Amino acid sequence: MTLPRLSLPSFWTWIMVAACVMLAVLLFWPILSVFVISFEDGDTGQFTLENYVQIFTRRYYLTALGNTLIVGFAGMLGACLLGVPLAFCMSRFQVRGRSIISTMAVLALVSPPFIGAYAWIMLLGNNGAITNALEAIGIDMPSIYGMRGIILVFALKFFPFIYLMTENALNGINKSLEDAAENLGCTAWGRFRKVTLPLVFPAVSTGAIISFVLSIADFGTPAIIGRGVRTLSTIAYSQYTSEMGGKPTMAVTISMVMIAISMLALLIQRRVLAKRRYASSMTHKQVKAPVSGGKSVLVHGVTYAIALAGMIPAFVVIWTSFIATNGPVFSGGFGLDSYRRIWSEAPDAIANSFIFALCAVALIAVVSSLLSFIVVRRESFISGALDLILMVPYLVPGVVMAIGFVTTFNSGWYNLVGTATMIVLIVFIRRLPYGVRSTSSVLRQVKPSIEEAAIALGSSPAKTFLKVTVPLIMPGIIVGSLMSFITAINELSSTLIVYTSSTVTMPVKIYLSVVDGEFGVAAALSTVLTVSTGLCVFLVFRLSEDREANFV
């Protein structure tokens, strides 16, 4: 009797197993480590709920929690108040220079928020340009430091999320619905409030949730411009640095509270959306109306004012970088002193930023293409779960992920603390969703019959993927890689915790320079970062036929 031959797992089965192991090691293990430590006593290591009790009873932590919720909600509201009107004007009217406005909005989105905080200090700080100009004519400006400054930066930083998502939704609304409301005597404001806004609410709420989550997770802005305003992200960092040498119990407990807030916000949004239907027919789409006279002035004034407000930090930083300096002090006139200083004092930071980002992006390009194939082509419970799991990095703040990596990979043969490998892996796992989402969207447009034909002709699954699928999805891989690079090179919150003198990056150096009052160095490095980001945005626009879909 011959024994039946055991069939070996297929190529894609092995890839699926490898993907599960990778996510377990680089995503869930660090998060689980943070979760477990949050229930440990810092001195004895015994199980305790005291850490959480302190956070929800001590005034110090409760104040930080309240401040976090305030800046999160206020930043989200400010982003909506800027993003929704901009989207409405761009989708309903013929606006001149549409591509310029979209480009400025995206550039405002991809630049790091702490650069915005630094730029507004240069304008409205105690010795800011606008502050000094107004004081010269007897007008006293309120301080930019504190809660109002944080909210201002977040609103101007995150409104592009609202704008891009809402404009796309507005363009898809059936025009007959608004026409019917108008024929029934509904005013323009009434049509917008009762018809238009409910139909685009899913898009607005999704952008709002992203703005909220990023606002509560941001570390650089409240640290630079907050002064006495403490948030959960800033005290998580301070607690971590004060607990060095022991278990960072309070830092990780604060981190778990931040994750819980992000997840709760997402669940509330999904529950609200589930209660009502927001679908409409995709026929009879909107036609952009021409504008003239006072209406044209109003529409163009609103659109350009919002877009330019978002770009002010970039303009200020570039301008400041060319002001002559004498050490840390601006001496007036123009010169390249700041650039000479960064090439002599911070060449490692510049090189590290590009090397780490490129290494992370190379991993993202390979892994995202494989994961995208599993998610799109290998439909199963596991592939569906992988698609949902890849949303987790969006919800986990960088501070949390960094603390998780430090507490997990800190001993034995896998001790990565203080190494470039740790920074690359953190950036890789946090930015992987960009690559997967971009590549998946392109792969869904490729007919499976093309790959099936290659396999029918005798090509192996691996060879078919490499020779047939990869060339077809290359535009998605490139766009996803560029978006990953943009966000990777601007990473601050996680690298600030794990960097050493040999692994310092440009965002970390900019933050330290601002804290030390070295504004010339900060401006020059920020300009290098902004120009690098801008070039990537330009390439994305050239390579992507649907620019909004790739930036949402």
Least confident span in 51-55, 248-252, 401-405: 248-252
> What pLDDT does residue 1 have?
44
User: Could you report the per-residue pLDDT of 120-174, keeping only the tens digit for each?
Assistant: 888 887 777 788 888 888 777 777 888 988 998 899 988 988 887 788 778 777 6
> What pLDDT does residue 281 have?
46
> What pLDDT does residue 541 have?
63
* Three-state secondary structure call for residue 5: coil
Q: For residue 70, what are the contacts with CB-CB under 8 A and spacing of at least 6?
A: 147
> What pLDDT does residue 549 have?
42
Rounded distance between C-alpha atoms, residue 81 and residue 33, angstroms = 39
User: Could you report the per-residue pLDDT of 454-470, keeping only the tens digit for each?
Assistant: 888 888 888 888 888 88
User: Could you report the per-residue pLDDT of 387-410, keeping only the tens digit for each?
Assistant: 778 878 877 878 888 888 988 898
Give CA angle at 119 (312, 255), nearest 5°.
110
Give CA angle at 46 (44, 49), nearest 5°.
115
Q: Residue 516 has what DSSP assignment?
A: T
Greatest pairwise CA separation for the chain in angstroms: 102
Which of the pair, 76 or 337, is modelled with greater confidence?
76
- pLDDT averaged over the chain? 82
- Give the burial class of 55: count Cβ atoms within 10 A of its Cβ; 0-12 exposed, 13-18 middle, 19 or more buried: buried
Q: Give 70's Cβ-side CA count (13 Å radius).
A: 18
Residue 483, pLDDT > 80, answer: no
Q: Give 482's Cβ-side CA count (13 Å radius).
A: 21
* Three-state secondary structure call for residue 179: helix
Q: What are the φ and ψ backbone dihedral angles of 325, each rounded to 5 degrees? A: -130, 160
525: closest CA among 341, 392, 361? 341
Position of tokens 């990778």?
22
109: closest CA among 151, 169, 159? 159
Residue 505, pLDDT > 90, answer: yes
Rounded distance between C-alpha atoms, residue 106 and residue 47, angstroms = 47
Rounded distance between C-alpha atoms, residue 72 and residue 481, angstroms = 29
Residue 545, pLDDT > 50, answer: no
Torsion sign, CA atoms 42, 43, 49, 52: negative
Residue 76, pLDDT > 90, answer: yes
Rounded distance between C-alpha atoms, residue 525 and residue 130, angstroms = 23
Amino acid at 359: C
> What pLDDT does residue 267 have?
80
How many helices (H) and strands (E) the chain has is answered by 28, 2
**Helix ranges (DSSP H) in 137-196:** 147-171, 175-183, 188-191
> What pLDDT does residue 151 have?
92
> What pLDDT does residue 484 have?
83
Rounded distance between C-alpha atoms, residue 324 and residue 321, angstroms = 8
Least confident span in 73-87, 273-287, 424-438, 446-460: 273-287
Name the region of 61 (left: φ>0; alpha: ψ -120 to 50; beta: rest): alpha
Please measure the distance between the N-terminal and C-terminal CA atoms of the chain and give it in whole angstroms.
60
Amino acid at 249: T
Least confident span in 207-221, 282-296, 444-458: 282-296
Q: Are 128 and 322 in contact (CB under 8 A)?
A: no
Residue 515, pLDDT > 90, answer: no
Where does 33-150 show beta strands of DSSP type E? none
Residue 231, pLDDT > 80, answer: yes
Residue 275, pLDDT > 70, answer: no
Which of the pair, 298 or 325, is modelled with greater confidence?
298
20: closest CA among 362, 402, 381, 470? 381
User: Could you report the per-residue pLDDT of 349-365, keeping only the tens digit for each?
Assistant: 999 999 999 999 999 99
152: closest CA among 125, 186, 184, 182? 125
> What pLDDT does residue 110 have?
67
User: Could you report the per-residue pLDDT of 20-37, keeping only the tens digit for each?
Assistant: 999 999 999 998 988 888
pTM assigned to the model: 0.78
> What pLDDT does residue 179 have?
66
What percentage of residues in the chain have a pLDDT greater than 90? 17
Q: For residue 404, what are the contacts with CB-CB under 8 A and spacing of at least 6?
A: 29, 30, 31, 33, 34, 252, 255
Query: What is 56-68 written as a DSSP string?
Result: TTSHHHHHHHHHH
Distance of CA 345 to the CA centre of its chain: 29
Give CA angle at 322 (542, 484), nearest 5°.
30
> What pLDDT does residue 360 have?
94
Least confident span in 1-5, 196-200, 345-349, 414-418: 1-5
Rounded distance between C-alpha atoms, residue 438 and residue 479, angstroms = 7
Residue 245, pLDDT > 60, answer: no
Torsion sign, CA atoms 122, 127, 133, 137: positive
Q: Residue 324 has what DSSP assignment?
A: E
Residue 256, pLDDT > 80, answer: yes
Amino acid at 66: G
Q: Are 216 and 233 in contact (CB under 8 A)?
A: yes
Residue 292, pLDDT > 90, answer: no
User: Could you report the per-residue pLDDT of 339-352, keeping only the tens digit for each?
Assistant: 988 988 889 999 99
105: closest CA among 159, 50, 145? 159
Residue 381, pLDDT > 70, answer: yes
> What pLDDT does residue 276 have?
59
Rounded distance between C-alpha atoms, residue 371 and residue 433, angstroms = 10
Rounded distance between C-alpha atoms, residue 265 and residue 260, angstroms = 9
Residue 433, pLDDT > 60, answer: yes
> What pLDDT does residue 466 have?
85
> What pLDDT does residue 450 have?
78
Q: Can you give the C-alpha Rg of the chain in angstroms?
A: 25
Q: Are strands 323-326 and 329-334 parallel, antiparallel or unpaired?
A: antiparallel
